[in-house]
Structure 1
Amino acid sequence: MGSTNPFKEQSSSLTKKILPFTLYALLPIALIRLYFYPIPLSFSSTNQIPQNTPILINTTSPSSSSKGDVDNIGCDYSNGKWVTDKLGPLYNGTSCGTIKDGQNCMGHGRPDLDYLFWRWKPHECELPRFEPKTFFQILRNKHVAFVGDSMARNQLESLMCMLSTFSSPDLVYSNGDDHKFRKWHFPSHNVNVSIYWSPFLVKGIEKPSGANYNKLFLDSVDERWASDLDQMDVIVLSIGHWYLHSAVYFYGGSVLGCHYCSDQNYTEIGFYDVFGKAFKTTLNAIMERRGGSKGEGIGVIVTTFSPHHFEGEWDKLGACPKTQPYTEGEKKVEGMDAEMRKAELEEIEAIKRRDKKLGTLRLEALDVTKLALMRPDGHPGPYLYANPFANGVQERVQNDCVHWCLPGPIDTWNEILLDVLKRWEGQSRKGK
């Protein structure tokens, strides 16, 4: 893994009398259209969603007025409960071309659909449904970049699917194994959306020369994404799970220690403090290059750690067997999940305290740890692969209890993301 930026070589190209008669002419056509193709009003949790047609529903929420957006400034989205929702998702497993195969639960034959009919209800406010049109209006002529590991990609693909219900994107760049660096352009609003693979955010070498551990340089940001900071308007950071892997850590030119490295002659120091140091290096790099009064500013959103739901061995039948969300109070954020979330939030607050005048830089946590913890039903599980039980139920089956089905709970991450962007936009207008 070098520091060369895969995107660098890619250029950035990118009246009153007539109206009544027109309406009278269109009315018969509309009636004929409705007769042959009636519009579905809603879905229930027992409906089978067609696999070959996109889901089109009304995305307008009563709570999504501009006044409500401003009122939500102090709302804590991290606390709430999952409630049933008859409307269901904006898209299905075949109406979007950016879903990674392993997260296409519907296409892979998952028989139950109840996991699609829930929405997150914060205690202090209402979370509006995702409105693609609003997203495009706010991000017109801008670039939003997702940076991180496969969870960042999971969230990006959710966003792309929801945006594609309104406007079609063009894939303008793709590079790396498994398309780890990609960029799309929406010509309708000149919006760019990209994904940068950087599972540590800082400079890292994934298992160099066949070694069974990673190398992390905690005081150096990963330039594969950081060198493009001047081209980004909104950046969404999401990492965590790769820090659980065996690694040797470097800081200031020397070895700091390691994690899960019994075959190495280094001190075992775990990964919580290391995780915090990596975030500090990342946020400092963004502040140095885009903070204060530099340029037109950048919005930085940190998606907090998303827990896994493995119950037992990952390759055994029933590794993530739940088919309903946890009820409020049934599960608490604790242990590793709490520590990872804490490390992220502490570094964000430290930056805000130290640099009270962030200037044109906006910084906010997208705190999804609790709402993610409460959705053990939203993972692919054995439907990581298509029709896993076509030849009968096997005792051993590979499961994914980390990533999220698309569509699925992770769509909520982007509902919160859009609401953050709407509040930022409202505050900017208010400040003018």
Structure 2
Amino acid sequence: MEAQKYAFKMKSSTTTTTLKDDSLCLSKNLVPYTLQFLLPIALLPIVLLCIYFYPLFLTKSQTNELHYGTISSPPPPPYPVNNKIKAENNSCDYFNGKWIHDKSGPLYNGTTCGTIKEGQNCMTNGRPDSNYLYYRWKPNECNLPRFEPNTFLQLSKNKHIAFIGDSLARNQFESLLCMLSTVSKPKPVHHKGSHWWHFASHNATLSDYWSPFLVQGDERSKSGPSFNTMHLDRVNERWLKDMDGMDLIFLSFGNWFNVPSIYYENGLVLGCLNCSSFGLNYTDIGFYVPLRKALRTSLNAIIERKRAKGKEISVIVRTFSPTHFDGDWDKAGTCSKTEPYGNGEKKVGEMESEIRRIQTEEVESAKAKANAFGGIRFEVLDVTELALLRPDGHPGAYMKPFPFANGVSEHVQNDCVHWCLPGPIDTWNEIFLEMMKWDWKGQPRSEE
């Protein structure tokens, strides 16, 4: 709309000095009329600027309402991925950055921590190089603080933190135990079906539940069927039965979905993955849809339990961690690289990217569902990019003690999935701590 142009012309006065009083009266009368027309013109640029920049002054929730309607309704797919978390009162993306040299090294080593699984204790297994221990993750927008065990324990006071999922969940769980053990020694607690450790100093409990599908199922084995079976609509009772006592649930899964499997839903076969390899005539549906269904079933179960019990709870989903086999994992593949990839040197693969997308979308959807009643926090710990850049951090052949003590054999098994302890996976827990410092309203948690 074009603004109308106003012009005001005044004739020169030819009256004598005897008309000064009349001129004064005329000028007094003109002032209000002049302001009446000129003031809107003067304010127009300010109004236009306010309208233009209005979205910048909205809160995050108000902005979401502009784009997606009310906040209680999930945005249309694909859901936006916002993995920024708070740091020093500013929003920081901890998940994009680079690995830099750091002379300080890790908080622990393979001899000072007694809970490390033998397959990840690379140094005591004879790994000759140690350069992989001296890198730190540097986010592009901020600094990632070094892990503070006392701070983590203080935030965990009187809490139960449960890691649920696959062997990478166990890998990260053991990394966390080792870092916390530098200031407080935990005691193992007997619990059928999981590993529990109790820190009496803070009445904090950490547990690890083996549940590689999250949902009910059976893993393939050498002595049994050569394929997995999964019931995509049933949460694994191993961890579901203890959910009421959990304050923070950490979900870690993905790798077990990329092997031959049969999927069930409502008691019927939904489909399979690579089922022709074991002679069954079911429809091959890949594993992306089953993976999404398994995660959705698990997150919905947590939401429903929260609604029924009313207890506040936090849920963190770890994104897919890429492997680094040079060759096939089951055909003597190795991971011999001894340095991180540089920025731009390696890109996330199609499969890893798709799994990450599914995981982040389901978390965003769960956030929208839970927003109606509050008290539940969903977050994503996005390790895909930072893990991709660390091919040097795996045990490789040193998943077993001194694999080359008797020379180099023809076939040496390598582990290019899990991570050495200490190693790059310690960074996951540094980010985890930063996420714990903020409650569901985006305010710092009290450490008193």
| Superposed pair shares fold, TM > 0.5 | yes
* Residues 215 and 298 in structure 2, CA contact (< 8 A), matched pair in contact too: yes
After TM superposition, the runs of 4+ consecutive aligned structure 1 residues lying more than 4 A away are: 315-318
Query: CA-to-partner distance for each residue in 1:303-332, whole Å, 9 max, x for gaps?
Result: 111010000144777710110000011111
* Residues 390 and 424 in structure 2, CA contact (< 8 A), matched pair in contact too: yes
- Which SS does the other structure have where 1:212 is aligned? coil
* Residues 274 and 284 in structure 2, CA contact (< 8 A), matched pair in contact too: yes
Name the CA distance, whole Å, in 2 between partners of 1:77 and 1:429: 19
**Offset at residue 72 of structure 1 (A):** 5.7
Alignment of 1:193-272 (within 5 A): 193-207=206-220, 210-262=224-276, 263-272=279-288
Name the CA distance, whole Å, in 1 between partners of 2:89 and 2:170: 28
Name the CA distance, whole Å, in 1 between partners of 2:260 and 2:333: 27
Name the CA distance, whole Å, in 2 between partners of 1:370 and 1:261: 31
- Which SS does the other structure have where 2:411 is aligned? coil
Query: CA-to-partner distance for each residue in 1:403-424, whole Å, 9 max, x for gaps?
Result: 0000000000000000000122
Q: Does 1:347 align with 2:375?
A: no
Identity across aligned pairs (percent)? 60
* Residues 215 and 297 in structure 2, CA contact (< 8 A), matched pair in contact too: yes
Match of 2:384 in 1: 369
TM-score, normalization by structure 1: 0.79
Distance 1:70 1:381, change over 3 A: closer
Name the CA distance, whole Å, in 1 between partners of 2:213 and 2:422: 26
Name the CA distance, whole Å, in 2 between partners of 1:203 and 1:317: 31
**Offset at residue 395 of structure 1 (A):** 2.8
Kindly report the root-mean-square deviation, in angstroms, between the aligned alpha carbons of the 2 structures: 1.9
Q: Does 1:283 align with 2:283?
A: no
Name the CA distance, whole Å, in 2 between partners of 1:296 and 1:290: 6
Matched AA of 2:438: R
Query: CA-to-partner distance for each residue in 1:83-132, whole Å, 9 max, x for gaps?
Result: 11110000001111110100000000000000000011111121111000
**Offset at residue 399 of structure 1 (A):** 0.2
1:274 to 279, 287, 290: 290
Match of 2:416 in 1: 401
TM-score, normalization by structure 2: 0.77
Distance 1:310 1:113, change over 3 A: same
Distance 1:358 1:236, change over 3 A: farther
Name the CA distance, whole Å, in 1 between partners of 2:156 and 2:293: 31
Match of 1:427 in 2: 443
Larger radius of gyration: 2
Segments of structure 2 that go 5 or more residues without pairing to the other structure are 1-84
Query: How many residues were matched structurally?
Result: 358
More off after superposition, 413-422 vs 355-364: 355-364
Name the CA distance, whole Å, in 2 between partners of 1:267 and 1:318: 30
Match of 1:17 in 2: none
Q: Does 1:131 align with 2:165?
A: no
More off after superposition, 347-356 vs 368-377: 347-356
- Which SS does the other structure have where 1:331 is aligned? coil
* Residues 324 and 377 in structure 1, CA contact (< 8 A), matched pair in contact too: yes
Name the CA distance, whole Å, in 2 between partners of 1:331 and 1:258: 32
1:326 to 298, 316, 341: 341
Q: Does 1:74 align with 2:91?
A: yes
Alignment of 1:93-172 (within 5 A): 93-172=110-189
Match of 1:58 in 2: none
Matched AA of 1:240: G
Match of 2:198 in 1: 185
Matched AA of 1:193: L
Name the CA distance, whole Å, in 2 between partners of 1:160 and 1:188: 14
Distance 1:382 1:354, change over 3 A: same
Name the CA distance, whole Å, in 2 between partners of 1:214 and 1:69: 39
**Offset at residue 175 of structure 1 (A):** 4.6
Name the CA distance, whole Å, in 2 between partners of 1:166 and 1:69: 26
Name the CA distance, whole Å, in 1 between partners of 2:410 and 2:393: 22
Matched AA of 1:337: E
Name the CA distance, whole Å, in 2 between partners of 1:398 and 1:212: 20
Matched AA of 1:185: H
Matched AA of 2:120: Q
Query: CA-to-partner distance for each residue in 1:29-78, whole Å, 9 max, x for gaps?
Result: xxxxxxxxxxxxxxxxxxxxxxxxxxxxxxxxxxxxxxx95546632222
Query: CA-to-partner distance for each residue in 1:217-244, whole Å, 9 max, x for gaps?
Result: 0011111101111100111100011101
More off after superposition, 388-397 vs 98-107: 388-397
- Which SS does the other structure have where 1:323 is aligned? coil
Matched AA of 1:416: I
Matched AA of 1:409: P
* Residues 216 and 250 in structure 1, CA contact (< 8 A), matched pair in contact too: yes
2:350 to 310, 335, 344: 335
Distance 1:315 1:255, change over 3 A: closer
Match of 1:310 in 2: 325
Match of 1:51 in 2: none
Segments of structure 1 that go 5 or more residues without pairing to the other structure are 1-67
